Chain A
Amino acid sequence: MKPTHSNAHWWLGVADLLAHGVQHGAVKLQRIHLSVADESFRVLEAIPATRHSSRIVRVCHHEISRLSYTGLSLAGRAAAGLAARAAAGHVRKHDLNVNNS
């Protein structure tokens, strides 16, 4: 990598890092969310009066959560891809300018 490019290149680097944070962070957050929720659902399932309804709520809760986090993760992945492509284009343009000057 060249020592310095420009402010725009630096911000593209920040965008790349944040987008990756969202992509992978969403997956990790989903795991935390579902495993913490499972602790509560396990208690509810142990009680005969709430067992049946808690199973239904658990399935709905987990599916909605998975859908939300997957959507967020995919958005992060798309943003990371865009940032990486923009940064690569920026480097090519910079190198071309350096070679021509």
Chain B
Amino acid sequence: MVSVPSAGRVQQHISAIASGFLGDWLEHRGNALAVPMTVFADGEPLDLLNPRPAAPGSVLCLSIHGLMELESVWDFPGQPGKHYGTGLAERLGDASALKLRFNSGRPIYRNGQDLAALLERLVSNWPVPVTRLVLIGHSMGGLLIRSACHYGAENDDSWVRLNPDCVYIGSPHDGSWLAVGAHKAAGWLNRVPRDYLKVVGEVIDLRSEGIRNLSRGEVFEPGTAHQPLLAGARHYVISGLLARGEEHLVNALFGDALVHEASARGARQPGWQLTGTANFPGVDHIRLAHHSAVARQLEEWLV
């Protein structure tokens, strides 16, 4: 049976896509399409000052989506509400699976700062003492985790002292080839002495700061020196590839469709000590967010 999304769901998707493309501009204008940062438990938004989930656990698994996505990207096909977080929560016991929704067009460092503050409020106000924090980020969501860890440590937030488990799934730590391509295409078109081509370059240049950040995996405020991964935390990387054969030309050109394997592993990031890495040939960028093989890998690492 084909499921038909409700009008509200369609509106949420339109908001997520508009926010991804023009999120910083929408926010600046106070436009209702700008998605506010919200935490969901069992599909319901949580009041961070007084979170009252149905069964609060002492372990929090927060899943963070990527550019232009909604928290529904995590749900296994045909199983709404079932995702990596719920699987981990079941296996860990005494755990709560949460999802984040945010405006993915804002600069990543600003979302990272807000996520750090949000985690501080969430952990401080959680009905039971939080003993462990698992952060799972898909694509841009992984970059948000790195940013939040930096700003959380800078602010000496209590959640940072929990030494979170940070999982980066298909995150372009060294940039995404598509974002780099858009940047180069806009630059070239803007230099061509033909107005009709310049306009195309200008339209590409309308893209949000969030998308621009993806061209080089920028997660900190401009002017900030390179920061290492959060010390004490455990960092896991998961990457995907379009074709099943690892050496396939398609994988060398496009990686998982948007992110190359080397970028997902942060190959150009100096001094990274990763707790675990896993590559899934044949699993593309979007399917990395809801794939049974990835779920098994996460349980192997985190349970």
Contact = CB atoms under 8 A, between A and B. Distances in A.
A17 B26 CA distance: 8
B29 interface: yes
A1 B18 contact: no
Contact of B38 (A3, A9, A10): A3
B20 to A, nearest CB: 13
A32 B199 contact: yes
A98 to B, nearest CB: 14
Contacts of B195: 31-32, 34-35
Nearest to B36: A3
Contacts of A78: none
A74 B203 CA distance: 20
B42 interface: no
A53 B197 CA distance: 28
A22 interface: no
A10 B203 contact: no
Contacts of B196: 31-32, 35-36
A14 interface: yes
B30 A1 contact: yes
A5 B35 CA distance: 12
Interface string A18-35: 000000000010011011
A3 B45 contact: yes
A17 B31 contact: yes
Nearest to B194: A35
Contacts of B32: 1, 5, 9-10, 12-13, 87
Interface string B178-204: 000000000000000011101100110
A28 B202 contact: yes
Contacts of A67: none
A84 B36 CA distance: 18
Contact of A31 (B11, B14, B30, B199): B199
A1 B27 CA distance: 8
A72 interface: no
Given A28-B203, A31-B199, A35-B195, A14 B36 contact: no
Nearest to A37: B196
Chain B contact residues: over half helix, strand or loop, or mixed? helix
B116 to A, nearest CB: 19
B251 to A, nearest CB: 37
B166 to A, nearest CB: 26
Given A10-B11, A16-B29, A35-B194, A1 B34 contact: yes
B33 A14 contact: yes
Interface string B206-247: 000000000000000000000000000000000000000000
A91 interface: yes
A23 B81 CA distance: 41
Given A1-B36, A3-B36, A13 B194 contact: no
Nearest to A9: B32
Contacts of A7: 11
Nearest to A10: B32
A22 B73 CA distance: 32
A70 B196 CA distance: 18
A88 interface: yes
B63 interface: no
25 contacts: A1-B27, A1-B32, A1-B36, A3-B36, A3-B45, A4-B36, A10-B15, A12-B32, A13-B26, A13-B32, A14-B33, A17-B18, A17-B31, A28-B199, A28-B202, A31-B195, A31-B196, A31-B198, A32-B195, A32-B196, A35-B194, A35-B196, A87-B32, A88-B30, A91-B30
Given A31-B198, A35-B195, 8 more contacts: A1-B34, A3-B36, A3-B38, A14-B14, A14-B33, A31-B195, A87-B30, A88-B30
3 closest residue pairs by CB, A with B: A13-B32, A35-B195, A13-B33
